[in-house]
Structure 1
Amino acid sequence: MKALVLAGGAGTRLRPITHTSAKQLVPVANKPVLFYGLEAIAAAGIRELGLVVGDTHAEIESAVGDGSAFGLEVTYLRQEAPLGLAHGVLIARDFLGDEDFVMYLGDNFVVGGINGLVERFARERPAAQIMLTRVGDPRQFGVAELGRDGRVVGLEEKPERPKSDLALVGVYLFSPAVHDAVAELKPSWRGELEITDAIQWLIEAGLRVESSVISGYWKDTGNVADMLEVNRLVLESVEPRVDGRVDGASELIGRVVVEPGAVVERSRIVGPAVVGPRARVADSYVGPFTSIGADCSISGSEIEYSIVLPRASIAGVGRIESSLIGHDVEVTPAPATPRAHRLVLGDHSKVQIS
């Protein structure tokens, strides 16, 4: 079995961060979300990976390399525009050949990995196998309709009037039969080749499409709220570790990781939290569920439930929470402005805050 990871999306819901960064490389717990998916694929025993990339291909190729760091052999497949998930399958036809494959969306996060899903597919060999989860607003997702026997009878992509609350999770398994389906597709009203239409084609052709409703954790990390929630979830499982320097005037409470080269001075950090390599935290409070990236500087400030990307600087700010702060951002005080802050800052921004 091979794997196909789609990492060509533009990430419009994470603007302005994704004006300058690939959405799949935005970190949770100081590790790019894409890496969690690559690790899950390798853990399932898959070695050959096709990675579909778009305009951010240089950044993703630099981060992933040849895949050997993950135990994978990576082939890069260039998608000229985000033309839909089924288009990703279309351009990967030569790479995939006539093998079964798992398709994984590069900005999705699934707790527990995909080992069981892969084993079930190999055992039962349907034409397709999908994962579903119940969501509050199905209109934002591909939606499945199940018959009385639990079989998938229909799918729609982002329907105005959903027939169920069962959304497709961004992990799919396919036999080579899906290539016949993709070859027959026409662009949807969104101008994309929809994978839901391909699966619907398989159903109408009388082929077996299996599903499982997961009760575990899944997130499409396409917006700030979901990024922060995944960051919280990952930090829940960190083990405390201090590889940097923490002075005697500082206090670490709970599960706190201080990476090599990091310095904590006269500060209080309440975990779970991570302070990245060579970062400096001085005269500050870092609250739970906060990830501070490499080479950041936090001084005279308070921050909680936030993600701070590498090389950002926060100085003299009373309180920041529920925020995603980009690379090389500077946050500094300014007089006569409101004290409550909620920020989504693009890379290289500079913001003054009282």
Structure 2
Amino acid sequence: MVLVGGKGTRLRPLTLSAPKPMLPTAGVPFLAHLLSRIRSAGVRRVVLGTSYLAETFSDYFGDGSRFDMEIEYVVEDQPLGTGGGIRNVAKHLTTDDVLVFNGDVLAGTDLNAVVRTHRDTSADVTLHLVKVQDPRAYGCVPTDASGQVLEFLEKTEDPPTDQINAGCYVFRRSVIDSIPEGRPVSVERETFPGLLAAGARVSGHVDNAYWRDMGTPADLVHGSADLVRGVAPSDALPGGTGEALVLADAVVDPEAFVFGGTTVGRGVRIGAGARVEGAMLFDGAVIGEGAVVEHSVIGAGARVEDGALVNDTVVGDRAVIGAHCELREGVRVWPDVVLPPHGVRFSPDV
């Protein structure tokens, strides 16, 4: 969980749920991209609440000064859920409006516009809602003509609206104080429905801004590529936008083709004739001559040897994909596994 405060800023405090916020994405921890958006909206103070491995956050972000922010850390003694985690940091809040984020979402909405909707409608809670092409995979949030949220619906094959919860909220401080303390609470299943039942004003801010749930490896790869290509907004990229982000000490053969928003990590080597599209190559990975890597994650120190094909696959750290192997359609290779040359194929040999 992350709470972001707005001392001396245009926005007030904010909060964020982050299951894997330190996972490298487009060259930096995923959380860095979210914090860059928050900072660009005018926020300078952050309260970051975590339930595990708190030191991984503080080791990287420190007190926030090198990001021109002030960061404070709060650790949960036990997992408290989305609502309980927000309640757990309540004593660190100093203002009446609190912006809340889900940390596994990559989005480009105008945060100041969300806050304006909240204040213009005198809402108790405001939700950022985004329209998606296929809402069946998500819970739906219908609203009336005034933007009042009507209900929260579970996943259904026949959704009544294409609006879904985009993982960004504005809370009144009084609502946060009313969340039960010291036990797990879900804002989606308990807090928000309870507010509607009590007659509270729950507003929806609806737009078509960039939005992607980063909860699966495929979404992580595509989201990273969108950041590299500049489709998803971020001020945290360690380089300019383009077809590839190549980090320090990487060696890419002039006859290799690297494009589609690929991130090439530090010390990576890519051989002649290799084709790498929309992939994440972590530090020290090796892609052999003539190998093809498409929309995949190649772990730190892993090897994809000459002529191998890896598509929509996650290859663990230090694993070896032998020459002329072929992996497709969601295969997961554990760290340190070694596949021999020609060891796995998905199509007939010719």
TM-score range, shorter chain: 0.7 to 0.9
Report if the CA contact (8 A) 2:87-2:177 is conserved. no
Relative to structure 1, the CA distance from residue 343 to residue 161 in structure 2 (aligned partners, 3 Å threshold; closer, same or farther) is: closer
Which position in structure 1 is the counterpart of 2:13? 2
Q: Percent identity?
A: 25
Report if the CA contact (8 A) 1:270-1:288 is conserved. yes
State the superposition RMSD in angstroms: 3.2
Equivalent residue for 1:258, pick from 240, 246, 266: 246
Deviates more, 1:89-98 or 1:145-154: 145-154
Q: CA deviation at 1:137?
A: 6.0
Equivalent residue for 2:201, pick from 196, 208, 211: 208
Q: CA deviation at 1:160?
A: 8.9
Distance (Å, rounded) in 1 between the aligned partners of 2:54 and 2:218: 26
Q: CA deviation at 1:211?
A: 0.8
Distance (Å, rounded) in 2 between the aligned partners of 1:343 and 1:329: 19
Q: CA deviation at 1:263?
A: 1.3
Equivalent residue for 1:166, pick from 163, 168, 173: 163
Q: Deviations over 1:269-306 (max 9, x none)?
A: 24233322222212341333223233222223221222
Q: CA deviation at 1:334?
A: 6.9
SS in 2 for 1:145: coil
Which position in structure 1 is the counterpart of 2:75? 78
Are residue 233 (structure 1) and residue 226 (structure 2) matched? yes
SS in 1 for 2:179: helix
- What letter is aligned with 1:222? G
TM-score, normalised by the number of residues in structure 2: 0.78
Distance (Å, rounded) in 2 between the aligned partners of 1:286 and 1:322: 14
Report if the CA contact (8 A) 2:125-2:201 is conserved. yes
Relative to structure 1, the CA distance from residue 89 to residue 60 in structure 2 (aligned partners, 3 Å threshold; closer, same or farther) is: same
Are residue 349 (structure 1) and residue 342 (structure 2) matched? no
Which position in structure 1 is the counterpart of 2:267? 278
TM-score, normalised by the number of residues in structure 1: 0.77
Q: CA deviation at 1:224?
A: 1.6
Q: CA deviation at 1:158?
A: 5.3
Equivalent residue for 1:219, pick from 205, 212, 215: 212
Report if the CA contact (8 A) 1:144-1:154 is conserved. yes
- What letter is aligned with 1:130? L
SS in 2 for 1:86: helix
Matches for 1:183-202 after TM superposition, within 5 Å: 183=180, 192-202=185-195
- What letter is aligned with 1:271? F
Report if the CA contact (8 A) 1:235-1:289 is conserved. no
The size of the alignment, in residue pairs, is 320
SS in 2 for 1:216: coil
Q: CA deviation at 1:193?
A: 2.8
Equivalent residue for 1:323, pick from 303, 306, 313: 313
Which position in structure 2 is the counterpart of 1:312? 302
Are residue 111 (structure 1) and residue 108 (structure 2) matched? yes
Q: Deviations over 1:130-185 (max 9, x none)?
A: 11123466565443232354421222455798554422011111111312441399
Instruction: Detail structure 1 runs of 4+ shifted over 6 Å in the superposition.
Output: 184-187
Which position in structure 1 is the counterpart of 2:21? 24
Relative to structure 1, the CA distance from residue 178 to residue 137 in structure 2 (aligned partners, 3 Å threshold; closer, same or farther) is: farther
SS in 2 for 1:198: helix
Q: CA deviation at 1:332?
A: 2.9
Which position in structure 1 is the counterpart of 2:58? 61
Q: Deviations over 1:242-281 (max 9, x none)?
A: x9xxxxxxxxxx8334333221235412423332222221
Higher strand share: 1
Report if the CA contact (8 A) 2:293-2:309 is conserved. yes
Distance (Å, rounded) in 2 between the aligned partners of 1:317 and 1:57: 42
Which position in structure 2 is the counterpart of 1:14? none
Distance (Å, rounded) in 1 between the aligned partners of 2:266 and 2:244: 13
Relative to structure 1, the CA distance from residue 82 to residue 158 in structure 2 (aligned partners, 3 Å threshold; closer, same or farther) is: farther
Which position in structure 2 is the counterpart of 1:287? 276
Distance (Å, rounded) in 2 between the aligned partners of 1:196 and 1:72: 33
Deviates more, 1:29-38 or 1:255-264: 255-264
Report if the CA contact (8 A) 1:134-1:165 is conserved. yes
Are residue 268 (structure 1) and residue 260 (structure 2) matched? no
Structure 2 unaligned residues grouped into runs of 5+: 1-11, 232-237, 343-350
SS in 1 for 2:328: coil
Report if the CA contact (8 A) 1:5-1:50 is conserved. no
Report if the CA contact (8 A) 2:319-2:333 is conserved. no
Report if the CA contact (8 A) 2:109-2:207 is conserved. no
Report if the CA contact (8 A) 1:156-1:196 is conserved. no
